[in-house]
Structure 1
């Protein structure tokens, strides 16, 4: 049990990578707070975990709203007396260049992808410092390491998450808090399921697969396992790191992607 007795909040826990992370953390002994803007989805995941013998509860939260994030963390501390792990996983992507992206769409994406990480850490870190330590894992993206066509806002947001992770890790290492990020490649998720459900789905899927050195899409559980390692004591000498888990996508320089994430 890598997380036996730990209290963990996982945002975006209602689907995709967050869903798998919630289940995996619970199997490893954590009491998981499944946090999601979709309250019904969070409830379903929490019920699934409890049905499998784990410990979980659901919390509806919009991570772009400070009042909601602060209230969530305060409730967890009131209910459990501590907060050991925070996984800032909530996020989404949009298409567009800086010219075609509206200011409203830019701001909305940044509010979730970047401000959500900032707000979660802003309110979790003082709790963790007071109790003597903790672990934070943020979800960046392999796209933060390279330029991606027609995804300006998304790439910028994930680059900000990677940079913020490093800065916070240095600022709070003396408080016993480890802060790292995982940078997924193209993952089999609800986002891509929707994209690939159209008439050109098979062609688009092949394009996505071909840009990975492993020539397949990643699975949510593979990212959840990286999150587990970073959150656990196995990663006790790891802080300020951005762990790339992308099937070799960004390690290769000679493959032009046929479709963007």
Structure 2
């Protein structure tokens, strides 16, 4: 989610100074900075009051837009998603070229459960394709939305485009890996988990899923009782995941890796 960075703060303060001479209001900069301080410290209700007052008394559109954005982020933190969406929409009306506002609105739509509206915001950013950082963000969230909807082929397409921009994201390789798992593409999912683990060596879920995918390849080819030698690589992943705290794969280890069980079966 978008941050209130120092460069933007400095720019807004300059615009506030210009606005003060026009409206004759003292303390406007202090009001803006207080809103930012309240936001950063988690006092979102107070920040909303500050930004609301700022929007009322300042005519400069860039400052108004920032007020709507920051108030929208505050509403989102308070789970008042419809109010957040309304503020991001107001910011977009003031400046439809700022793709970050579409990302912000998309996130609030996601949080509210309006997944199709969220997808529309992300797809618009992708359609415009004028900012790599915003494209990256849109593709990331779109992949997660499609995954949550069980649209695994679309998830994979989103991830494929995402990796053109950012090829170092372990989480998205994991997401693409699980999407491939759900489609039965175990060879490809293993490659995705390989990449996730290469970036993040102790990625517990990726280790567990990679071990499971290796077992699925063996059993999927009709080998319902693979030998200890055949499951060695899979068991190495599963046991490492177990050592790192994953207890969900206990049954997999018992069935395919436990030496006593293997002896009985072999």
Same fold (TM over 0.5): no
Q: Decide which structure has the larger Cα Rg and report it.
A: 2
Q: Normalising to structure 2: TM-score of the pair?
A: 0.26
Between Structure 1 and Structure 2, which shows a larger proportion of helix residues? 2
* Higher-RCO chain (CA-CA 8 Å, sequence separation at least 6): 1
Between Structure 1 and Structure 2, which shows a larger proportion of strand residues? 1
